[in-house]
Amino acid sequence: MSALDFTQTSTARRVGDAERARILAAPGFGQHYTDFMAHARWTVESGWGGGEVLPFGPLQLSPAAAVLHYGQEIFEGLKAFRHADGSVWTFRPEANGERLQRSARRLALPELPVPDFLASLRALVAADEPWVPEATSEESLYLRPFMFASEEFLGVRASHTVDYYVIASPAGPYFPRGVQPLVVWITDEYARAGAGGTGAAKCGGNYASSLLGKNEAAENGADEVLFLDSETHTSIDELSGMNVFAITRDGRLLTPALTGSILEGVTRLSILQLARDRGLEVSEQRLVMSEVLEQLGSGEITEMFACGTAAVINPIGEFRARGGSWTVGDAGSGETTLALRKELTDIQYGRIPDRHGWMTRLV
Ligand code: COI
């Protein structure tokens, strides 16, 4: 049972019907926002309270709010999908709610009970229902729950006031080029997270630390950056916001094991299950970059892809590094990669049965 009811405080729409239709025709990723946002506040004295759905708009924050100085912030990413009968669903939201709790523990933030997390998604999507793209598209409404230290205090300790919001943004493909094979730059300079650090938490700081690597990737004509482990710089961690997979000629699906420095992706977990279902041998292991590059050369690894809620499943066509470049397969989109992508999105859009019970109806 949810203790917070996320009452809607206004029904006035911010964006008119014609403008919303124009946005939904080509939403891109992360460029447009809906009419409402959900909010709750936690205080050390009273715990969680004040669940509401209010008009989307700027936040009022003290310049001394702790998050602006020490980065005590976490977030999540999910999507709402329209099915052919008009209903609206989301994918494995309990997994995101539980991960938000794990991230909160690591960042010394309060844990939002999972029923309250689900209630916030339901309330926001109910209010913003016209923003969920039509079932005929491969588009969705991206949901971004986040939580941050809002106490006006400059001492270094866990904040006594924390604000939780959910905002929503209509989303097409994450990459501007669409679902096309990515060029991935392997950085030998930067790491995303170190042992004992926050790598497994979904906190803003991990993404901030990836940005210089992303710039380096762009300077080298690549779409994404791949981070290696911070200690030895030899094994694959993840991209700037996506987990990584490889598929071998003999039908194995390989992905880096969860070492504490990479994100426990919900899409990653689901792909492991879908791959097992289709008879692939699945292995979560240490993936040594030099060995992967060798196996790309010998043809032993035939496909690689990136995955995440925003990116779904995106083929990798090429790796680049200071020492050279390596083509993945024929540099195109691998057959198994596309089959996994199709199966995952078919489940999400209700086009095939949800045999694992992953979907939750929101509206
Ligand atoms: C997501 O996939 O939902 C994320 O939060 C990652 C970010 C790169 C958009």
pLDDT band at residue 1, thresholds of 50, 70 and 90?
Answer: confident
DSSP-derived secondary structure letter, 199: T
Ligand 1 atom nearest 78 alpha carbon: 3
Q: Yes or no: say if 56 and 37 are a contact pair by the CB < 8 Å rule.
A: yes
Binding pocket residue ranges, ligand 1, CB within 6 Å: 77, 241, 308-310
In this prediction, residues 50-68 reach a mean pLDDT of: 98
pTM: 0.97
pLDDT band at residue 135, thresholds of 50, 70 and 90?
Answer: confident
pLDDT band at residue 137, thresholds of 50, 70 and 90?
Answer: confident
274-313: per-residue pLDDT in tens? 999 999 999 999 999 999 999 999 999 999 999 999 999 9
Give me ligand 1 centre to Cα 241, in Å. 6
55 pairs with which residues across the strands? 36
Ligand 1 atom nearest 265 alpha carbon: 2
Phi (first) and psi of residue 344, to 5 degrees: -60, -45
How far lies 272's CA from each of 307, 322, 338, in Å?
Answer: 11, 32, 15
Q: 228 pLDDT exceeds 90?
A: yes
Per-residue confidence (pLDDT) for residue 245, from 0 to 100: 98
326-338: per-residue pLDDT in tens? 999 999 999 999 9
Torsion sign, CA atoms 222, 275, 145, 36: positive
Outline where DSSP puts E strands in the chain. 7-8, 36-43, 47-55, 73-75, 78-82, 88-91, 140-149, 161-171, 182-186, 224-228, 236-239, 243-248, 252-256, 281-285, 301-308, 312-321, 324-327, 359-361
Give me ligand 1 centre to Cα 77, in Å. 6
Give me ligand 1 centre to Cα 202, in Å. 9
Please tell me the residue having the least CA distance from ligand 1 atom 6.
Answer: 241
Within 13 Å and on the Cβ side, how many CA atoms surround 192?
32
Ligand 1 atom nearest 142 alpha carbon: 3
DSSP-derived secondary structure letter, 123: H
Q: Which helix (H) or strand (E) holds 302?
A: strand 301-308
> Which amino acid appears at position 20 of this protein?
R
Per-residue confidence (pLDDT) for residue 323, from 0 to 100: 86
Give me ligand 1 centre to Cα 78, in Å. 9
Give me ligand 1 centre to Cα 242, in Å. 7
SS3 for 361?
Answer: strand
- In degrees, rounded to 5, the angle at the alpha carbon of residue 358 between the alpha carbons of residues 353 and 363 is 90
Q: 138 pLDDT exceeds 90?
A: no
Tokens representing 216? Answer: 């380096």
Please tell me the residue having the least CA distance from ligand 1 atom 7.
Answer: 241
In this prediction, residues 134-156 reach a mean pLDDT of: 95
Q: Which helix (H) or strand (E) holds 117?
A: helix 114-127
Per-residue confidence (pLDDT) for residue 318, from 0 to 100: 98
Q: 136 pLDDT exceeds 90?
A: no
Axis-axis angle for helices 93-106, 114-127 (nearest 10)? 120
313-362: per-residue pLDDT in tens? 999 999 999 989 999 999 999 999 999 999 999 999 999 999 999 999 99
Give me ligand 1 centre to Cα 232, in Å. 26
d(CA 45, CA 26): 45
d(CA 224, CA 317): 11
